[in-house]
């Protein structure tokens, strides 16, 4: 005889609690599974590897996209071109983060919670970010080591006319 | 700042391989070549067959390109790539292809080009397979040479049904209006040539370059008019189609053009076979029509039918339609026009906005060829050429 769930609470790895509407939570396949499984009664959902800072951003994305979906449904199904473009603009602004590793944390969070839209958006943002970078800059961003031997470097350079810097 | 935030791990999270693959698959091949040098993990990932296929899929949808084949002053090959962001890039070819100078492209499939080489004084022509993005070249085994009274037409394409690339050599007799004499087909999988029976091609002449789309290769041609069993005259202008998977030739009707309208080229529009025609209006204007082939319905009893989809409003100049790329009709502009001194050599017509756009792809005062192309990382397979071409 429980009343329908309107909100759920998610707990960040820092221990902070945040309320999410069910509509927003449904943007995440993980949370959706839990919500639609009648055998589970949800009180609080801990998301162990997502910090407060990142969780706030993720919830913001989910809420915005849930609202957009609801508005589209109310208008009879099809989103107009201008509405879709407005959402794209919002997404672009949303992804403008000040530090690169914040971007990666959002990507990992979207992956963990299975939020397809945010995951694709984050992957594309990273792709656009690294497009024009040199191998040296890439290594710095992804924390990678140049593990080629000098002979291997020479061979690669010759074959593909690329530089290692 | 609370105690919790100070204790937070600020380090870059380690991204699993699948996620790196997802990110890299979105990049144009050109950048991925550069990233081979980042580290071994990335090199192995980028060069893996599963990644190449995944990347090709992304590339085909997000970044379809145009390959412009031009010749420089000293007859050198000047190949340029136009990407979907309207940037022009010079194609750095495999040194062998640049050295040969006499190659011309037969076709492009999945980022692989089939190049035909015929040097003056040589008694035969040769075929190469190359991927200009990864700078790999592979020579194909020799096939029968054409006789002096013959011309040779070559077609190249890929079929996902048999997961194979095939090359078609059609030998035509010049004294008989380019009537088809023999057909050889090469399969990359079996690495061998075999002769195909002419069958329906008896009495058929070829009159264009091949165009590959949807797992088939198409040519304009005509069948010798003959009387059928009812005494009716059948034959006439056709489109010859070669199914790459089944290796079967079929003949299809051409669109019924109005008088004065000339067939210019086969192309593809919205995944259907299409034809671009041109009607010259005096010496200074041209009207271009786009015809699209629709699958026939059971009711009509026809296998296929042609519909005129667009009539492009006249352009002040004589245009030669070449192909359709994304939503644009790509045309070269006649070099005899003297109206403008700029280097415009290409006109793009957008089928949605109905606007013309002028473009200059490198300096080129002579005609050029254009191919729809996609940059891919697919290897050309087999033994790669390292020695000089003999």
pLDDT digits (tens, 9 = 90+) for A39-90: 777 778 888 889 999 999 999 999 999 999 888 888 877 767 788 889 999 9
Nearest CB among B19, B26, B92 relative to A161 is that of B92
Asked if B43 lies within 8 A of A111 by C-beta distance, the reply is: no
Residue B57: count of CB within 10 angstroms of its CB: 13
Does any CB of chain A come closer than 8 Å to the CB of residue B41?
yes
Under an 8 A CB cutoff, do B15 and A124 touch?
A: no
Is B310 in CB contact (< 8 Å) with chain A?
no
Looking at residue B7, its pLDDT comes to 32
Q: Which of A100, A105, A131 sits opposite B27 (nearest CB)?
A: A131
Provide the token pair at A22: 């069910």
pLDDT at B74: 66
The tokens of B113 are what?
């080009």
- Tell me how close the Cα of A86 comes to any Cα of chain B, in angstroms: 21
pLDDT of res. B122: 60
Average pLDDT of the segment spanning A114-133? 94
Q: What is the pLDDT of residue B38?
A: 93
| pLDDT given at position B262 | 87
- The pLDDT value given to residue B390: 29
Q: Which residue of B has its CA nearest to A100?
A: B12
Tokens 């508005």 locate to A71
User: Nearest CA to CA, how far is A84 from chain B (Å)?
Assistant: 19
Tell me what pLDDT residue B364 has. 63
**B60 at A interface, C-beta within 8 A:** no
Residue B232, SS3 per DSSP = coil
Q: Which residues of B touch A115 (CB under 8 A)?
A: none
Please write the tens of the pLDDT for every residue from A81-90: 788 889 999 9
Taking only residues 1 to 30 of chain B, the set having a beta carbon closer than 8 angstroms to any beta carbon of chain A reads 4-5, 8, 10-15, 19-20, 22-24, 26-27
Residue B169 CA to residue B153 CA, distance in Å, equals: 6
* φ and ψ at residue B230, rounded to 5 degrees: -95, 5
The residues of A whose Cβ lies within 8 A of any Cβ of B are 14-16, 51-53, 100-101, 104-105, 107-108, 111, 123-124, 126-127, 130-132, 134-135, 138-139, 141-148, 153, 156-157, 159-164
* pLDDT at residue B224 in the model: 87
Distance CA A164, CA B87 (A): 25
- Chain A neighbors of B11, CB-CB under 8 A: 101, 143
Stretch A148-164: mean pLDDT: 85
Nearest residue in chain B measured CA to CA from A146? B39
User: Which pTM value belongs to this model?
Assistant: 0.84
pLDDT by 10s per residue, chain B, length 390: 333 333 334 556 678 989 999 999 999 998 999 999 999 999 999 999 899 999 999 999 989 999 998 876 666 778 889 998 888 888 877 777 776 667 789 999 999 999 988 766 566 788 999 998 888 889 899 888 888 889 899 999 999 999 999 999 999 999 988 999 999 999 999 999 999 999 999 999 998 889 999 999 999 999 988 777 787 777 789 999 999 999 999 999 999 888 888 888 999 999 899 999 998 787 778 889 999 998 876 565 667 889 998 888 888 878 889 999 998 999 988 654 443 456 678 889 999 899 999 888 876 656 688 999 999 999 887 544 433 332
Q: How far is A19 from chain B (nearest CA, A)?
A: 20
Copy the structure tokens of residue B380. 């050309």
Residue B319's CB: how many other CB atoms inside 10 A? 28
Look up residue B41 and give its two tokens: 């993990």
CB crowding A106-142: b at 16 or more within 10 Å, else e:
bbbbbbbbebeebbebbbbbbbeebeebbbeebbebb
Question: Is the CB of residue B45 less than 8 Å from the CB of residue B17?
Answer: yes
Give bridge partners of residue B173 from the DSSP assignment.
Answer: B150, B179
A44 by DSSP, 3-state: which?
A: strand
Asked whether the beta carbons of residue B37 and residue A51 sit closer than 8 angstroms, the reply is no
Contacting residues of B for A162, CB less than 8 Å apart: 33-34, 36-37
- CA–CA distances in Å: residue B355 to residues B203, B275, B329, B351: 43, 20, 10, 8
């Amino acid at each position: 005889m429980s009343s329908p769930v309107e909100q759920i609470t998610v707990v960040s790895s820092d221990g902070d609690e945040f309320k999410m509407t069910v509509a927003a939570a449904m943007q995440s396949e993980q949370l959706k599974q839990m919500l639609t499984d009648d055998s589970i009664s949800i009180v609080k959902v801990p998301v162990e590897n997502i910090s407060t800072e990142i969780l706030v951003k993720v919830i913001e994305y989910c809420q915005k996209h849930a609202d957009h979906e609801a508005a589209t449904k109310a208008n009879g199904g099809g989103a107009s071109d201008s509405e879709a473009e407005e959402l794209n603009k919002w997404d672009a602004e949303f992804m403008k983060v000040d530090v690169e590793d914040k971007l990666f944390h959002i990507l990992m969070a979207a992956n963990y919670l299975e939020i397809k839209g945010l995951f694709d958006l984050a992957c594309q943002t990273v792709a656009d970010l690294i497009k024009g970078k040199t191998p040296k800059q890439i290594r710095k961003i992804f924390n990678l080591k140049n593990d080629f031997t000098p002979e291997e470097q020479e061979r690669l350079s010759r074959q593909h006319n690329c530089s290692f810097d | 700042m609370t105690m919790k935030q100070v204790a937070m791990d600020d380090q870059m999270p380690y991204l699993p391989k699948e996620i790196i693959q997802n990110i890299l698959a979105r990049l144009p091949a050109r950048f991925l070549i550069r990233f081979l040098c980042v580290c071994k993990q990335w090199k192995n990932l980028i060069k893996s067959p599963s990644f190449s296929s995944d990347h090709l899929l992304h590339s085909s949808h997000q970044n379809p390109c145009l390959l412009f084949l031009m010749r420089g002053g000293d007859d050198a090959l000047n190949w340029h790539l136009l990407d979907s962001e309207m940037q022009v890039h010079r194609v750095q070819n495999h040194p062998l292809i640049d050295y040969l100078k006499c190659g011309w492209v037969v076709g492009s499939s999945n980022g692989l080009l089939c190049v035909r080489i015929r040097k003056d004084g040589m008694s035969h022509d040769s075929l190469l397979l190359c991927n200009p993005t990864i700078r790999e070249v592979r020579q194909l085994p020799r096939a029968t040479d054409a006789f002096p009274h013959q011309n040779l037409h070559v077609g190249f394409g890929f079929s996902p049904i048999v997961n194979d690339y095939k090359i078609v050599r059609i030998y035509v007799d010049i004294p008989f209006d380019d009537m088809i004499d023999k057909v050889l087909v090469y399969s990359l999988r079996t690495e061998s040539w075999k002769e195909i029976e002419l069958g329906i091609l008896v009495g058929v002449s070829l009159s264009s370059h091949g165009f590959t789309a949807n797992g088939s290769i198409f040519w304009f041609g005509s069948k010798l008019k003959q009387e059928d069993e009812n005494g009716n005259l059948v034959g006439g202008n056709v489109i010859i189609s070669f199914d790459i998977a089944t290796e079967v030739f079929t003949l299809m009707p051409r669109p019924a053009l109005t008088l004065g309208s000339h067939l210019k080229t086969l192309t593809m529009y919205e995944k259907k076979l299409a034809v671009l025609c041109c009607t010259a209006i005096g010496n200074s204007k041209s009207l271009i029509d786009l015809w699209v082939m629709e699958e026939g319905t059971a009711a009509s009893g026809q296998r296929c039918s042609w519909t005129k989809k667009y009539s492009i409003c006249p352009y002040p100049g004589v245009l030669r339609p070449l192909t359709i790329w994304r939503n644009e009709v790509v045309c070269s502009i006649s070099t005899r026009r003297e109206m403008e001194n700029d280097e415009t050599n290409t006109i793009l017509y957008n089928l949605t906005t109905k606007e013309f756009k002028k473009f200059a792809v490198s300096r080129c005062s002579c005609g050029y060829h254009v191919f729809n192309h996609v940059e891919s990382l697919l290897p050309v397979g087999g033994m790669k050429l390292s020695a000089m071409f003999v």
